[in-house]
Amino acid sequence: MTSKPTDQTTAGTKTVSFAPAGPLAGRIMVPGDKSISHRSLILSALAVGKSQITGLLEGEDVLATAAALRAMGATIEKSGDVWTVQGVGVGGLMQPETAIDLGNSGTSVRLLMGLVASHDISVTFTGDASLSKRPMGRVIEPLSAMGAEFTARMCSDGKACLPLAVRGLCPAVPLEYRLPVASAQVKSAILLAGLNMPGVTRVIEPVLTRDHSETMLKGFGADLTVETDKDGNRIISLTGEAELLPQKIKVPGDPSSAAFPVVAALLVPGSNIVVENVGINPTRAGLFEVLQKMGGNIIYKKQRTVGGEPVADIHVKHSKLTGIDVPADIAPSMIDEFPVLFIAAALAEGTTTTSGLHELRVKESDRLNQMAEGLSLLGVDVTEREDGLIIVGSGEPISGSKKKTAIKTALDHRIAMSFAVAGLVTQTGVTVDDMSPTETSFPGFADMLATLQGGTK
């Protein structure tokens, strides 16, 4: 039972095969949190003075945000392990000279649309084939109510998509907005816009989503309060015009990236690993909770606070998993982790049911459909519903594809990494048609797997 990933590169895509290769062992770190990395750069670019960031995720998505902020006047440099950002101050963004290409990154485009909306500049945003299909109306609607003007391409389904142009308004009009979808990107876009206008911008969040923007805005000195009303709605109030103070930021490891080695170690017999320095903010750690309920041996050790965020070293041992009903209300705290949960469910004994996951259809790909098709190809018993998957696991390794068809990743990093993990527990191995999207969030993913495969217990 040996074999390391084997790869073949053609015209920018990277086909890689993954196969069972014995227990995973050792201690690893995963790259910095993607959400916190984007926000670190954006808020530093708006502060007056020099901020320093360590642990920044150097993936394509975050580098796209950095390039966009540079094009709007911020100075962003790296020396050794430290990123230094010389901010322009709230209101100080400048007119970029060309259109800004944000590649695959939904977070970059939606957060930057918010920033531009209250500056007196016009910006055109473009993206790759995946980003150009994703809905932008959810951000256009509230930002238009604040006074920004948008011209967007209509996708085939009649929804507003990239490329799009934003004409900001300064001063714009503060807004009170109840989020119609549970989206941290929409919440953050509105709050970022609110920084550069007089008055109180208020976001009402019926369902809690990741709260990094709120924590970090307060850390940078913004006047922001969070209250919960009697119906359980979270009310976030931000008073503009804010003055942000430069900060020293330590970005913790990304729980959404740690998800892959954690699930791999649970599934591969004999494994015993530690993923160090992982963010365990409750708005992000739903996957670990669900896996524990399925019988996963996952223990948080050395719990501590780094830069205002809870962090731990996560110890994981191979475990026999049992299928469960995943409650719909846990979805926002693990919204990016469902693809890899579906792989765990395929090996668990019994039925795993998921629901309330409409949002997965508008991520980097339609993740419900991509995962259902890939798992069916591997012979897993899976039913696709409009808002979730039902997976009946046998409690045994996946038998695998007789046809040796490569799994399609559709420019989606998390689909690619999920099926790489599946390859480690599929008798015939798994070929993934393109691993290059993993560069967006997890540079070094294949090396990380190889380290664990070569690790000593």
Q: Which amino acid is at 282?
A: P
Q: How far apart are CA 41 and CA 63, in angstroms?
A: 10
Least separation in angstroms between CB 29 and ligand S3P: 20
Beta bridge partner(s), residue 381: 392
Each residue 357-376 as x (binds ligand S3P by CB under 6 A) or -, in order, gives --x-----------------
418 touches ligand S3P (CB under 6 A): no
Least separation in angstroms between CB 322 and ligand S3P: 27
65 touches ligand S3P (CB under 6 A): no
Judged by CB under 6 A, the residue of 37, 104, 107, 401 near ligand S3P is: 107
Distance of CA 220 to the CA centre of its chain: 22
- Which of 87, 105, 111 lies closest to 249 in space, CA to CA? 87
309 touches ligand S3P (CB under 6 A): no
Judged by CB under 6 A, the residue of 65, 188, 352, 354 near ligand S3P is: 188
Residue with smaller CB distance to ligand S3P, 290 or 321: 290
335 touches ligand S3P (CB under 6 A): yes
Least separation in angstroms between CB 293 and ligand S3P: 22
Judged by CB under 6 A, the residue of 17, 185, 365, 428 near ligand S3P is: 185
Q: Which residues are part of the catalytic machinery?
A: 336
44 touches ligand S3P (CB under 6 A): no
Least separation in angstroms between CB 429 and ligand S3P: 29
**Which structure tokens are listed for 163?**
């490329």
Q: How far apart are CA 381 and CA 426, in angstroms?
A: 14
Q: How far apart are CA 118 and CA 315, in angstroms?
A: 45
Interface region with ligand S3P, contact rule CB under 6 A, candidates 142-150, 179-187, 310-318, 321-329: 179-187
131 touches ligand S3P (CB under 6 A): no
Which 203-232 positions form the footprint of ligand S3P (CB under 6 A)?
Answer: 210
Interface region with ligand S3P, contact rule CB under 6 A, candidates 11-19, 20-28, 181-189, 312-320: 181-189
Interface region with ligand S3P, contact rule CB under 6 A, candidates 183-191, 200-208, 268-276, 349-357: 183-191
Interface region with ligand S3P, contact rule CB under 6 A, candidates 139-147, 180-188, 343-351, 370-378: 180-188
268 touches ligand S3P (CB under 6 A): no
Judged by CB under 6 A, the residue of 211, 336, 412, 434 near ligand S3P is: 336
**Which structure tokens are listed for 313?**
């070293």
Judged by CB under 6 A, the residue of 65, 183, 426, 428 near ligand S3P is: 183
| Binding residues with ligand S3P: total (CB under 6 A) | 10
Residues with Cβ within 8 Å of residue 99, at least 6 apart in sequence = 123, 124, 125, 126, 163
Residue with smaller CB distance to ligand S3P, 308 or 379: 308
By the criterion CB under 6 A, which residues form the site for ligand S3P?
A: 35, 107, 183-185, 188, 210, 335-336, 359
